[in-house]
């Protein structure tokens, strides 16, 4: 998707969205799968639904959970900005906002988590947020509520007081007991439990209503086109896309199928989202500080794996959570820093990060007339002989953990996730995927979007048909 607005222009629009997000957006929650009968929510989940759409739970009384996790956008952001503005519109977040759909089976974080494929060795996995520092959905709720660049409450007491003053205070007491709002710490935790119950019980958080679901369960209308079937082969092929190596499609620990994640963490070496990208309309403000690095599992927001000294090789540095790919085609910003804005860009990055790093990273030096890069590249041009600042969003000493698994790396299946992989694919060598394969893969990823309606007459031709 094209980036829509510069950060400053979007400030007013975001506040306008926050001012109306308790209307039609709230009405869509609970809708569930088309044609199904939504179950009645428990009292706790009803409280959570009220809280999820309550703008008064932010410091400026102008932002709810749904402002960034809009049900009309698969509980993801309603725009293509890399990071969202907070309740204080002068503050911007530091990471892209993920969708909240299909989170209920995520296990707590573990340094040595079992992989659901039953084959891959244990590695960091599980948890909520991009760095897994929240063990449950309930614990995750507390983090944006108290973050000054998100909902910007000064304390737990401010959040609890907003509930005491709210129209659903009596419902809260029915759900959690008389006196449940008396103790601030307990009441604050109960708000998290209520929103967790809402996310668990409401079918709109896990509708399983995509074309892919009809296909894997052999339902009427679940026939993939020739292009989509070719894309599925690319998705699973270890020699080309190899997507399923991390975006696991089988049955996971909770018995759910096709979540498109194995809950692990990968260091992909995404380009730094800063002003070094020509024409970048929404660089992350924190990246204006050249000493600041967001390194996922090893900090700065998570602290248990922070290197004793920056530059000392640490296998956790640069690793971020592998996201669920359901509804990925509806997103406008990708990766933890929102540096990419289309599926085409994401897949071309995977395909050419090592063969053509000049497409993605800033470069200096060189001689001669600049060469034009493809339209999907971050960098518009490249000067022959220039030195490319590859993996520029990690300190040089922390780049050893960057993933080298196909389509990245050597093409031989090497995986450098924990520092033991092989050398990168040589610059100038052939990428793993052809343009046709990338196009077919995008067609397959489109089938993961919820809300699919079987057409009365199947299309006879088109990009994702033939």
Q: Which residues of 141-151 are buried (b: 16+ CB within 10 A; e: fewer)?
A: bbbbbbbebbb
Q: How many CA atoms lie within 13 A of 221 on its CB side?
A: 12
Question: By the 8 A CB rule, do 27 and 76 touch?
Answer: no
- Number of structural domains, the chain? 2
Residues 144 and 262 in one domain: no
Q: Cα-flanking dihedrals φ and ψ of residue 364, to 5°?
A: -140, 155
Which residue among 205, 222, 253 closes a domain? 205
Beta-strand (E) ranges in 315-364?
320-321, 363-364
Whether the predicted model's global pTM rises above the 0.85 cut: yes
What sign does the dihedral 291-296-298-300 (CA atoms) show? positive
Q: Is 389 exposed, middle or buried (0-12, 13-18, 19+ CB in 10 A)?
A: middle
Last residue of a domain, one of 177, 205, 233: 205
The CATH number linked to 428 is 1.10.760.10
Q: Which helix (H) or strand (E) holds 372?
A: strand 371-372
CB 407 within 8 A of CB 433: yes
Residue 397 counted as domain residue: yes
User: Are 242 and 321 members of one domain?
Assistant: yes
Q: What is the DSSP annotation of 51-62?
A: HHT-GGGSTTS-
**C-alpha 129, offset from chain centre:** 9
**pLDDT by residue (tens digit) across 37-73?**
568 999 999 999 999 999 999 999 999 999 999 999 9
Nearest to 204 by CA among 335, 13, 48, 16: 48
CA distances from 438 to 216, 277, 323, 344, 463 (A): 22, 24, 19, 7, 12
Question: Both 306 and 246 in a single domain?
Answer: yes
Q: Are both 397 and 253 inside the same structural domain?
A: yes
- Residue 427's pLDDT is 60
For the chain, the 3-state helix, strand and coil shares in percent, each to the nearest 5, are: 30, 5, 60
The whole-chain average pLDDT of the chain stands at 89
Whether residues 200 and 235 share a domain: the answer is no
- The pLDDT, as a whole number, for residue 39 is 80
Q: Residue 236: give the domain boundaries.
A: 208-466
The pLDDT profile of the chain, 466 residues, written as one tens digit per residue, is: 333 333 333 333 333 333 334 333 444 454 443 344 568 999 999 999 999 999 999 999 999 999 999 999 999 999 999 999 999 999 999 999 999 999 999 999 999 999 998 888 899 999 999 999 999 999 999 999 999 999 999 999 999 999 999 999 999 999 999 999 999 999 999 999 999 999 999 999 999 999 999 999 999 989 999 999 999 999 999 999 999 999 999 998 888 889 999 999 999 999 999 999 999 989 999 999 999 999 999 999 999 998 877 778 999 999 999 999 999 999 999 999 999 999 999 999 999 999 999 999 999 999 999 999 999 999 999 999 999 999 999 999 999 989 988 999 744 333 333 333 334 445 668 899 999 999 999 999 999 999 999 999 988 889 999 9
Residue 387 lies inside a defined structural domain of this protein: yes
Q: Give the span between the Cα atoms of 283 and 279, in whole angstroms.
A: 10
pLDDT at 308: 74
Whether 352 and 448 map to the same domain: the answer is yes
- The whole-number pLDDT of residue 24 equals 38
For residue 147, CA distances in Å to 23, 87, 92, 283, 437 come to: 25, 10, 11, 20, 42
DSSP 8-state symbol, 233: H
- Bond prior to 78 in cis (omega within 30° of 0): no
Instruction: Provide the pLDDT for residue 252.
Output: 87
- In this predicted structure, what is the pLDDT of residue 19? 33
Q: Which of 185, 205, 225 is where one domain is finished?
A: 205
Strand segments (E) across 63-179? 110-113, 123-125
Whether residue 52 is contained in a domain is answered as yes
Distance CA 59, CA 87 (A): 6
**450 secondary structure, DSSP code:** S
Judge whether 246 and 264 are in contact, CB under 8 Å: yes
pLDDT of 119: 87
On whether residue 114 sits in a domain, the answer given is no
362 and 395 co-located in one domain: yes
In a domain, 299, yes or no: yes
Check whether residue 172 and residue 223 sit in a common domain.
Answer: no
Establish if 116 belongs to a structural domain. Answer: no
CA dihedral 98, 321, 102, 169 (to 10 degrees): -60
Residues 155 and 221 in one domain: no
Q: Count CA within 13 A, CB hemisphere, residue 96.
A: 27
Whether 268 maps to a domain, the answer reads: yes
Do 218 and 201 lie in one domain? The reply is no
Looking at the fold, whether 326 and 427 belong to one and the same domain comes out as yes
Q: Is residue 454 part of a domain?
A: yes
Query: 151 and 246, same structural domain?
Result: no
Rg of the chain over CA atoms, in angstroms? 22
């Amino acid at each position: 998707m094209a980036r829509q607005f510069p950060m400053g222009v979007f400030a007013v629009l975001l506040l306008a969205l926050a001012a109306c997000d308790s209307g039609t957006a709230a009405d869509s929650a609970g809708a569930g799968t088309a044609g199904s009968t939504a179950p009645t929510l428990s009292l706790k989940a009803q409280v959570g639904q009220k809280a999820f759409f309550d703008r008064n739970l932010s410091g400026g009384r102008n932002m709810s959970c749904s402002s960034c996790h809009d049900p009309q956008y698969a509980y993801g952001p309603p725009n293509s900005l890399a990071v969202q503005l907070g309740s204080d519109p002068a503050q911007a977040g530091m990471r892209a906002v993920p969708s909240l759909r299909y989170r209920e089976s995520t296990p707590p974080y573990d340094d040595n988590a079992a992989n659901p494929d039953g084959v891959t060795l244990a590695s960091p996995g599980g948890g909520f947020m991009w760095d897994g520092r929240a063990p449950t959905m309930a614990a995750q709720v507390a983090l944006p509520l108290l973050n000054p660049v998100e909902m910007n409450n000064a304390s737990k007491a401010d959040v609890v007081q907003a509930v005491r003053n709210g129209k659903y205070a009596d419902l809260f007491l029915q759900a959690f007991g008389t006196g449940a709002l008396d103790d601030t710490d307990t009441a604050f935790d109960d708000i998290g439990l209520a929103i967790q119950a809402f996310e668990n019980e409401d079918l709109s958080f896990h509708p399983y209503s995509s074309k892919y679901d009809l296909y894997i369960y052999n339902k009427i209308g679940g026939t993939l086109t020739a292009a989509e079937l070719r894309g599925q082969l690319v998705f699973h092929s270890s020699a080309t896309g190899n997507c399923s190596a991390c975006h696991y499609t089988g049955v996971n620990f909770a018995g759910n199928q096709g979540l498109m994640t194995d809950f692990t963490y990968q260091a992909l070496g995404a380009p730094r989202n800063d002003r070094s990208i020509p024409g970048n309309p929404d660089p992350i403000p924190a990246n204006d500080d050249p000493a600041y690095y967001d390194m996922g599992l090893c900090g700065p927001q998570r602290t248990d794996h922070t290197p004793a000294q920056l530059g000392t090789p640490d296998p956790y540095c640069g690793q971020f959570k592998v996201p669920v790919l359901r509804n990925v085609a509806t997103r406008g910003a990708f990766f933890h820093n929102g540096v990419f804005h289309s599926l085409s860009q994401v897949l071309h990055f995977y395909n050419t990060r090592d063969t053509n790093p000049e497409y993605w990273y800033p470069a200096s030096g060189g001689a001669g007339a600049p060469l034009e890069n493809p339209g999907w590249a971050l960098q518009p041009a490249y000067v022959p002989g220039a030195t490319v600042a590859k993996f520029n969003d990690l300190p040089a000493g922390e780049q050893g953990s960057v993933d080298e698994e196909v389509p990245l790396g050597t093409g031989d299946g090497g995986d450098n996730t924990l520092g033991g992989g092989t050398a990168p694919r040589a610059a100038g060598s052939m990428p793993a995927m052809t343009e046709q394969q990338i196009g077919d893969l995008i067609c397959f990823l489109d089938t993961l979007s919820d809300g699919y309606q079987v057409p009365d007459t199947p299309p006879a031709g088109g990009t994702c048909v033939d």
